[in-house]
Structure 1
């Protein structure tokens, strides 16, 4: 097995228990006669839960011990490569999904002209506003985006890092439109004046945008232009409404092949050098073939299984209690709620599990997602459990009641997602949710009760359809919430099982 012979100083996966037998004590006693501190020595037998007994002769590891630890370290590094690489493979899957529909970088504009629905495998989208998805590749030079519509958009690079905002969130645009120029940060040519310049460290970049409604689609298509700098536009529009295609990364050993594809294409200057060192230890290195076989492939399968479980643990039942929006009072959480940072940083550190949870169930990164100003941005809460802490079950009926007068300037929305795909639950209800842009049945006091169930209850109800024998989770969105929301003064309840 071609596993690397290196040792990590700290193992977060091993719960190592060291115990010395009489044989071990003899070895240490001879050392102690030289007044050597016992805590810097290694006994003849080290007992661990992770890999069993490890045997040494006066500190020298046996062949069996060396083999055990090498494999363990390979699996551990592969687990960390998966967890830390979720944003990278997720972006790769998004861009490759566009290519599967015939999309081309710097040319094709994917747009859900009649809204996205259950057919598209896409991490937690909403079905209320049209989505636009574009790949911009600056490997061969800068690319122009000429926008003449009020859009809410952003640019994320191939490693899912934030590059800049487009449209309403850009201070030079503010929804009025503008000419953007995406430039690789190594570009040394002349940049013409009159552009909003966004520099990116990677070649491939994703530009998602949202329009306010389907009524705005025509105006966008009539006025939007995209082309490499100095060339004439050669564009096509692809409507992906109701189209079956996948934008989600693999959760098995194929994940590492997706990761390798990114590393091979992007410049070696992109990304983090420590991460590149980590993945090199499992065989992923720019300019080198990656074709795992035999025991190496078996170890990658094992690692992918462990890493996927960890990601699901954090995405569905976060261990960081600070992400819960209302503390211990509710089961609603916000993946970056403990930091309110799009980089998941606070107090000089990255909150790794929060970052993992977010990228496992969501897509698109911008500081606007964490904005807490009155009427700014949007807020997304997630729940996977009912009021008693039980997992949401498609066989059951649940209700939730929103207090009167939700603090927002636009609208609120409930959406249900499939636990497996983290995409819109594939029910007969095409929208996959219920929101305040349509007709809403209110209670006498002005509150709103929403029902989640596999079949529609009798009477006039606000209904979200679920699927029998299918697990699901719920996302509640507040678009342009006011300060009352940010201050947690307006509290929504948990889902109540009926």
Structure 2
């Protein structure tokens, strides 16, 4: 008996004629295309389903542009990490054992997405392809983590890590490493060679002892040199103007190509690698787009930039609004649903991933876990109480009810809507909070904070400066948040327009 290949019942009926039943016009329309179609990308023309040469060119332009846009949005984490690494190198912190230390805290000269002025940061990058297994000796009392080259969480260090804040030795091994693992180390196994180390020191007892704790005890060196490691150096990158924010033009894709070339092929899966390859970025091959493709990728970067901003200011995904029971509240979180992997129910939430990586850097589950009196928690106000963009020429007011629920302190920091970095004004540290000298409370213990180009009379200690002609946004940080913050029985007011 001869077996025929299976075909659909509709196709079979068309092939065999009326004896097998008539096919309706609606069914034919569903499986065909008219000779001329008006679309968002222009008029498309066909001869009985076969596209004309002009239509083929239009379709491929659209396909390449769309693929470039999606590659941009899906790989912000990687390109952002690369931009941080090169920015630190420009500031003098180049090499795994040369630590970038903000020894005088971070002011607004440095462009780092949504970094703050209240934390002692220490950064470095491993280069496992060059150095092999690398040791990180973490001082006591630190908060920290390691992210891989795509800014994916590898492991915690310090208070939230296996050393539990007592300090300890961590060993970071290259992808596919099969050598011996000596005793006495906490093991970290990233999927990339270039990995970002983020450490944060508490300044509760003062900045000077916190800096000394890091410079005296933090050490980074190759395991092969453990018997006689080179001295770890520290580059004070405070008070320096340098950029760690990734670009949103054609050069974005050039950076992504460098990342793909320097990292193992297994660093990302076949689906992600195939999407990147579809726009011409392939490991082991030169990235050499022609003028047509460069133009399309430039357009893709512009559209992706715009898309990330739309997702930021008007997200349509669940879990971003902190107070969803109040539709007028604009306070939001950078981690939708407090999910730091961006994965749930077997799927990646691409909008949630783009939202975070476009506006922040560094990922650890500890950032999305609130324990009374421990760590910190953040709330973003990206729009005013009327759901409008903040206008730097106008005056706004935020009311914080009495008994702000923090064990340590609270702080508000201002950001530039273009760079997502600290807003550059005459206030070099654009932050105000419960530790601010001159900050006053109302008679009932509440606070009023003002945002304006000039301080309202008598409110100089409660004022953050804005810039006419620019917008801005702010982040409220709660250090050691207490139960009323976590259970939402205490809530900040909305930021209201005064005049």
Q: Judge same fold: TM > 0.5, yes or no.
A: yes
Residues in 1 aligned to 2:466 and 2:120: alpha-carbon distance in whole angstroms: 23
> What is the aligned counterpart of 2:221 among 227, 241, 264?
227
Assess if the C-alpha contact under 8 Å between 2:97 and 2:219 holds in 1: no
1:44-83 to 2 correspondences below 5 Å: 44-45=34-35, 47-83=37-73
How many residues were matched structurally?
469
Shift of 1:301: 1.0
Counterparts of 1:342-381 in structure 2, within 5 Å, are 342-381=340-379
Structure 2 vs 1, CA of residues 46 and 133 (structure 1 numbering), >3 Å: closer, same or farther? Answer: farther
2:8 alignment partner in structure 1: none
CA deviations over 1:86-140 (Å, ceiling 9, x no partner): 1111011011111112322222100011110111011011101211111112124
Q: What is the CA–CA distance in structure 1 between the aligned matches of 2:164 and 2:147, rounded to whole Å?
A: 19
Task: Give the whole-Å Cα distance in 2 for the aligned partners of 1:73 and 1:376.
Answer: 48
Residue 450 (structure 2) aligns with? 451
Distance 2:186 2:256 in 1: 31
Structure 1: 5+ residue stretches without partners? 1-28
Per the alignment, residue 175 of structure 2 pairs with 185
Contact residue 41 and residue 59 of structure 1 kept, 8 A:
no
In structure 2, how many angstroms separate the alpha carbons of the residues matched to 1:126 and 1:383? 15
Which one of the candidate residues 74, 81, 92 is aligned to 1:84? 74
**Structure 1 residue 474: deviation in Å?**
0.8
Q: Which residue of 2 aligns with 1:168?
A: 159
One of 144, 152, 157 as aligned partner of 2:143: 152
- Residue 235 of structure 2 is matched in structure 1 by 238
Aligned residue among 292, 295, 299 for 1:298: 295
Q: Judge conservation of contact 2:35–2:48 (CA < 8 Å) in 1.
A: no
* Contact 1:317 1:384 (8 Å CA) reproduced: no
Could you tell me how far apart the structure 2 residues matched to 1:438 and 1:43 are?
67
Match of 1:286 in 2: 283
For normalisation by structure 2, the TM-score amounts to: 0.90
Is 2:388 the counterpart of 1:390?
Answer: yes
Q: Secondary structure at the match of 2:64?
A: helix
Q: Which runs of 5+ in 2 are unaligned?
A: 1-13
Name the structure 2 match of 1:413. 411
Aligned counterpart, 1:15: none
Following TM superposition, by how much is the alpha carbon of 1:169 offset from its aligned partner in structure 2, in angstroms?
1.0
**CA–CA distance in 1 between the matches of 2:61 and 2:16?**
30
Look up the match of 1:401. Answer: 399
Task: Report the alpha carbon displacement of residue 322 of structure 1 after superposing the two structures with TM.
Answer: 3.5
- Offset, 1:206: 0.5
Decide whether the 8 Å contact of 1:32 with 1:38 is kept in 2: no
Are positions 1:438 and 2:436 aligned together? yes
Contact conserved, 1:106 with 1:228, CA < 8 A, in 2? Answer: no
Match of 2:486 in 1: 486
Displacement of 1:64 in angstroms is: 2.0
Change (3 A) 1:39 1:374: farther
Q: Equivalent residue for 1:269?
A: 266
CA distance, structure 2, for counterparts of residue 72 and residue 62 of structure 1: 15
Q: Is the 8 A contact 1:397 1:497 kept in 2?
A: yes
State the shift of 1:30 in Å: 10
Alignment of 1:101-112 (within 5 A): 101-112=91-102
Matched residue of 2:198: which SS? Answer: strand
Structure 1 residues 378 and 272, CA gap change in structure 2 (3 angstroms)? farther
**SS of equivalent to 2:189:** strand
Provide, for residues 426-453 of structure 1, a one-character-per-residue CA deviation record: whole Å limited to 9, x for no partner.
0111111112223431111110111111
In structure 2, distance between residues paired with 1:400 and 1:357: 25
Contact 1:149 1:175 in 2 (8 A): yes
CA distance in 1, matches of 2:348, 2:191: 20
1:40 CA drift (Å): 5.0
- Report what 1:9 is aligned to: none
Moved more, 485-494 or 236-245: 485-494
